[in-house]
Amino acid sequence: MQESGPPLIRIRGLAKSYHRGEQDIAVLLDIDLDVMPGEFVALMGPSGSGKSTLLNLIAGIDKPSAGTIEIGGIDIATLGEGALADWRAANVGFIFQFYNLIPVLSAFENVELPLLLTGLSARQRRERVAQVLELVALSDRAEHLPSELSGGQQQRVAIARALVTDPTLIVADEPTGDLDRATGEEVLSLLEQLVDELGKTIVMVTHDPKAAARAGRMVHLEKGVLVDDLGP
């Protein structure tokens, strides 16, 4: 983790609220947060704290009501929908609690999906996919459908998919939530590897303290505000 230099993520005055009929329900209130490149951050808090919402905003799949989110120097809060989609394709890798693999596509094809949004040729895509599958040790399962893989294997495919475009930022929403302890351990080790060896930045939402402990930094939210920011 780099100590000096500009933060990768720079959030100022971030707020998000939803309209429910007449009412405005505030989910996030005035968040300021910096994440340096190569950090492994865990977002924690009770249900309703706004941690998932914060993650969604960082990932660029939701728009804030107020504030700025600078990632790699670009304030993504100002990007239009199309530009945001393109930005995500190039800069963010996603890992979900329920893996979110496309059921009709093989492991290989699932990992290949983000590459379809780049200008790479079919051969180049094949090479990249093979590389990342090798990294997550699933090369021998490339042709299997998600239904033919265990939970842990599916999550590893998802991680491969998250890596394939070589994004700087990886966003993970309860990555071990659906896995047993042993498998969860494996996945967390893999994530640590991504940070230590590949220099990725990971922001992870989790409610599991053991998972959070593996991250370098724990950020606590409660009722939409940051209450704690604990480093190692």
Partner 1 sequence: MNALPLSYIARNLRVRRVTTVLTAAGMALVVYVFATVLMMTEGIRATLVATGQPDNMIVLRKGAGAEINSGISRQQAAIIETLPGIAHDAGGRALASKEPVVLNNLPKRGSGKPSNVTLRGTGAAGLALRPQVQLVQGRMFRPGGSEVIAGRAVAAGFQGVDLGATLRFGGRDWVVVGLFDAGRSGFDSELWADAEQLMAAFRRQAVSSVIVKLADADRFEDLRQRIEDDPRLGLEAKREERFYAEQSEALANFIRILGTALAVIFSIGAVVGATITMFGAVASRVGEIGTLRALGFRRSAVLAAFLGESLLLSLLGGVAGVTAALAMQAVDVSTTNFATFAELAFQFRMTPAIAVQSMLFALLMGFVGGFVPAWRAARLKIVDCLRAA
Report the interface residues with partner 1, using CB under 8 A.
Answer: 56, 59, 61-62, 81-82, 85-86, 88-90, 94, 96, 98, 100, 102-105, 109, 113-114, 116-117, 161
Whole-number minimum distance, CB 95 to partner 1, in Å?
11
Whole-number minimum distance, CB 39 to partner 1, in Å?
22
The smaller minimum CB distance to partner 1, of residues 206 and 214, is found at 206
Closest CA to 45 of 30, 20, 68, 28: 28
Whole-number minimum distance, CB 211 to partner 1, in Å?
20
Closest CA to 70 of 18, 28, 35, 27: 35
* Rounded Cα–Cα distance for residues 83 and 53 (Å): 21
Closest CA to 204 of 162, 167, 171, 166: 171
The smaller minimum CB distance to partner 1, of residues 36 and 55, is found at 55
Instruction: Report phi then psi at 194, rounded to 5.
Output: -60, -40
The smaller minimum CB distance to partner 1, of residues 40 and 108, is found at 108
Query: Given 3-state DSSP classes, what are the helix, strand and coil percentages for the chain, each rounded to the nearest 5?
Result: 40, 30, 35
The smaller minimum CB distance to partner 1, of residues 36 and 159, is found at 159
The smaller minimum CB distance to partner 1, of residues 106 and 153, is found at 106
* C-alpha Rg value of the chain to the nearest Å: 18
DSSP 198-227: H--EEEEE-S-HHHHHHSSEEEEEETTEEE
CA 102 from chain center: how many Å?
A: 18
The smaller minimum CB distance to partner 1, of residues 164 and 211, is found at 164
Whole-number minimum distance, CB 232 to partner 1, in Å?
30
Whole-number minimum distance, CB 104 to partner 1, in Å?
4
Whole-number minimum distance, CB 93 to partner 1, in Å?
9
